[in-house]
A = this chain, B = another copy of it.
Amino acid sequence: MDDQTVFTLPLRIYVEDTDAGGIVFYANYLKYFERARTEFIRASGYEWRFDLDHNISFVVHSLDIKYLKSAKLDDMVSVSVRVNKLAKTYIDFHQEVLNQQGETLVKANIKVACVHLDTAKPRTLPSDLSQKISESLGE
């Protein structure tokens, strides 16, 4: 976590999140990242809902993750959101899961693209969303 982090979501690790190795199953961190992005967008005053009426959807284009340490049952963790790049048709996020001592457990770069819901083709981000994010970035 650093100066450019714009949003942080605290969350608890429940039984559903863990696996037989006693740690959080590796796919589940992607759920946490999505929850934090969603709440960041919501906090910006925009609803991240699939907007059937406006034929807009958001899909993850690509991502990379490094797993440094494992979260465990009952842990409280924080999920951070940083916007690395706000482009015309996509947003590059950097996100981390941190423990209560502020150590990074997992970190990821995630590119989210805005698409037409019917064709899955790229489209420009809704202008009010771009503006909200710009504002939250202090630009």
- List the interface of chain A (C-beta within 8 A of B): 12, 14-16, 18-23, 25-28, 30-31, 34-35, 38-39, 42, 47-50, 57, 59-67, 69-70, 72-74, 117, 120
Contact = CB atoms under 8 A, between A and B. Distances in A.
A48 B20 CA distance: 12
30 contacts: A12-B35, A14-B31, A14-B34, A14-B38, A15-B19, A15-B20, A15-B21, A15-B34, A16-B34, A16-B35, A19-B19, A20-B22, A21-B50, A21-B57, A21-B59, A21-B117, A23-B59, A26-B34, A27-B27, A27-B31, A27-B34, A30-B30, A48-B74, A49-B74, A50-B73, A59-B67, A61-B66, A61-B67, A62-B64, A62-B66
Contacts of A27: 16, 27-28, 30-31, 34
| Number of identical monomers bound together in the oligomeric complex | 4
Given A15-B34, A18-B20, 10 more contacts: A14-B38, A16-B27, A16-B34, A16-B35, A20-B20, A20-B72, A21-B57, A26-B30, A27-B28, A60-B67
